């Protein structure tokens, strides 16, 4: 058999299960001979491998009930949560598999428990690995990755399409309501003009109506401009800069509206609002990019660059918070009027604190393991292995003094961990030189 004709054991299990279920489903007699035509030849097998991910997702509620004896109250919703867990947390932005610790998955997805993660392992969707006294989960095999990516992309497109459709329908409903209101107002005006012609004071009534309409039109025009400005401001408050900035730019395209906003209370210069939104967006994007970089290094077990990314994100988040404080005016009646919702900023600070703490714990845990291994090899005078552990310890040394102090406390050292590692490195290398000599 040629190498390209071989089949991996994971795929073989899927195909054997498919043929077995097909025989049972069609109630074939004992002794039935399985031929390529029965299972659809090569295309049938390839289709079953691609369809395995979807079938296993749909069978999760029944599998969970069999394992725990508990029926899910909302099985379809739970399947959707599990699908999002696999497709958003266990696949990198570069469409590669990645592993994630169980505590993060359970905390991030409501309803997901350790039992449910074990059901995913039993169904061969996920693989479980014990690493640094924690359980990490990842997609069980590269064979499933194309189906997971295809499902994720299809779901994202559907979600975007649903959102766009909902926004479009909302705009249509709003425009229809506005047309009805305008038509009703115009009908009332026509009725008033017909009645005015029946009396002797037609000219006076017509003048008054015209004056009233003019006042209404001006007020409506001002309110419309204010509403458009408020929508853009609300988007800034919610950190939706992708919607806020085009909103300000659209207002800039209507000079009369800008003029009205500038000369009515409270006066607003739209160009200044646009500039403020752009300043906030630049720092916001920098914070998000730093968090993403930190996550990428964390998933690669590169804890020092991960901490560098998270601390960098925290520095920029402080600048973001300071800029928000500076740009948020103070009202005598309501206090400070925040440009960006302060609760969102606090929540991101909390998220950064959690990421820093998580990366720091992982770094300290691996450092302790490497230190124990080094001490064992050092005592046995196996200098090559001792040196490799020391070099990894050197890579794990954090850059922040606060992290070094915590590492020193965890290791019960009397000296700086960096001095300790560098001294032992020199000693180990000297011993290796003696052996080579």
Q: SS3 sequence, the chain?
A: CCHHHCCCHHHHHHHHHHHHHHHHHCCCCCCCCCCCCCCCHHHHHHHHHHHHHHHHHHCHHHHHHHHHCCCCCCHHHHHHHHHHHHHHHCECCCCCECCEEHHHHHHHCCCCCHHHHHHHHHCCCEEEEEECCEEEEEECCHHHHHHHHHHHHHHHHHHHHHHHHHHHHHHHHHHHHHHHHHHHHHHHHHHHHHHHCCCCCHHHHHHHHHHHHHHHHHHHHHHHHHHHHHHHHHHHHCCCHHHHHHHHHHHHCCHHHHHHHHCCCCCCCHHHHHHHHHHHHHHHHHHHHHHHHHHHHHHCCCHHHHHHHHHHHHHHHHHHHHHHHHHCCEECCCEECCCCCHHHHHHHHHHHHHHHHHHHHHHHHHHHHHHHHHHHHHHHCCHHHHHHHHHHHHHHCCCCHHHHHHHHHHHCCCCCHHHHHHHHHHHHHHHHHHHHC
Q: Given this model, what pLDDT does residue 419 score?
A: 92
pLDDT of the residue at 229: 81
pLDDT in tens, 57-91: 888 888 888 888 888 888 888 888 888 888 888 88
Read off the tokens for 60.
């999760």
pLDDT at 330: 79
Q: Using an 8 Å Cβ cutoff, are 229 and 261 in contact?
A: yes
- CA dist 184 → 120, 172, 188, 208, 411 (Å): 59, 18, 6, 19, 79
Q: Of 48-57, 298-307, 343-352, which gets the smallest average pLDDT?
A: 48-57
The predicted pLDDT at position 119 comes to 86
Integer Cα distance of 48 and 55 in angstroms:
9
pLDDT value at position 376?
93
pLDDT of residue 93: 85
pLDDT at 17: 59
Examine the pLDDT at 432 and tell me if it is beyond 50: yes
The three-point CA angle 410-414-417 to 5° equals 60
Q: Is the pLDDT of residue 146 over 50?
A: yes
* 387/9 Cα distance (integer angstroms): 39
Selection from 29-33, 246-250, 370-374 with the highest mean pLDDT? 370-374
| High-pLDDT (> 90) share of the chain, % | 27
- In this prediction, residue 18 has a pLDDT band, given cuts at 50, 70 and 90, of low
Question: Across all residues in the chain, what is the average pLDDT?
Answer: 82
pLDDT band, residue 30 (cuts 50/70/90): low
Comparison of pLDDT for 363 and 12, the residue scoring more: 363
Look at residue 4 in the predicted model and tell me its pLDDT.
43
Tokens of 158: 């559907």
Q: What pLDDT, on a 0 to 100 scale, did the predictor assign at position 1? A: 37
Residue 215 has pLDDT above 80, yes or no: no
Furthest C-alpha separation in the chain: 124
Q: 220-239 pLDDT, tens per residue?
A: 777 787 888 888 889 888 88
Going 19 to 22 to 27 to 33, the CA torsion angle's sign is negative
For residue range 298-339, what is the model confidence (pLDDT) as tens digits? 999 899 999 999 999 999 999 999 988 888 887 766 678 888
pTM of the model: 0.49
Question: pLDDT band for position 2 (50/70/90)?
Answer: very low
> What pLDDT, on the 0 to 100 scale, is given for residue 274?
86
């Amino acid at each position: 058999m040629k190498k390209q004709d071989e089949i991996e054991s994971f795929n073989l299990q899927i195909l054997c299960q498919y043929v077995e279920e097909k025989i049972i489903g069609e109630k074939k007699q004992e002794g039935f001979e399985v031929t390529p035509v029965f299972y659809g030849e090569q295309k049938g097998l390839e289709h079953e491998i691609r369809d395995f991910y979807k079938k296993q997702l749909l069978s999760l509620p029944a599998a969970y009930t069999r394992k725990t004896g508990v029926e899910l109250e909302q099985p379809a919703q739970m399947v959707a949560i599990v699908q999002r867990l696999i497709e958003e947390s266990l696949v990198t932005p570069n469409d590669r598999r990645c592993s994630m610790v169980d505590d993060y998955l359970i905390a991030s997805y409501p309803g997901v428990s350790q039992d449910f993660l074990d059901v995913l392992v039993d169904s061969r969707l996920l693989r479980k690995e014990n690493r640094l006294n924690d359980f990490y989960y990842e997609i069980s095999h590269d064979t499933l990755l194309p189906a997971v990516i295809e499902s994720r992309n299809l779901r994202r497109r559907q979600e975007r399409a649903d959102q766009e459709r909902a926004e479009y329908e909302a705009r249509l409903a709003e425009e229809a309501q506005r047309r009805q209101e305008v038509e009703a107002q115009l009908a009332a005006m026509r009725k008033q003009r017909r009645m005015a012609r029946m009396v002797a004071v037609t000219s006076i009534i017509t003048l008054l109506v015209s004056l009233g309409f003019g006042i209404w039109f001006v007020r409506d025009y001002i309110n419309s401009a204010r509403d458009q400005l408020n929508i853009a401001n609300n988007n800034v408050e919610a950190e939706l800069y992708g919607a806020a900035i085009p909103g300000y730019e659209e207002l800039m395209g209507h000079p009369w509206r800008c003029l009205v906003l500038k000369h009515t209370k409270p006066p607003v210069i739209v160009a200044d609002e646009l500039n403020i939104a752009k300043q906030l967006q630049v720092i916001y994007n920098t914070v998000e990019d730093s968090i993403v970089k930190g996550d990428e290094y964390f998933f690669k077990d590169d804890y020092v660059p991960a901490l560098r990314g998270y601390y960098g994100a925290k520095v920029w988040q402080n600048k973001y918070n300071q800029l928000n404080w500076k740009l948020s005016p103070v009202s005598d009646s309501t206090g400070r009027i925040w440009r960006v919702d302060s609760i969102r900023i606090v929540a991101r600070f909390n998220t950064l604190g959690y990421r820093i703490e998580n990366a720091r714990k992982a770094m300290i845990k691996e450092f302790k393991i490497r230190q124990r291994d080094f001490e064992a090899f050092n005592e046995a005078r196996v200098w090559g292995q001792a040196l490799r552990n020391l070099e990894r310890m050197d890579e794990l040394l954090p850059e922040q003094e606060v992290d070094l102090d915590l590492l020193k406390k965890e290791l019960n050292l009397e000296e700086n961990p960096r001095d300790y590692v560098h001294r032992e490195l020199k000693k180990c290398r000297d011993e290796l030189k003696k052996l080579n000599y």
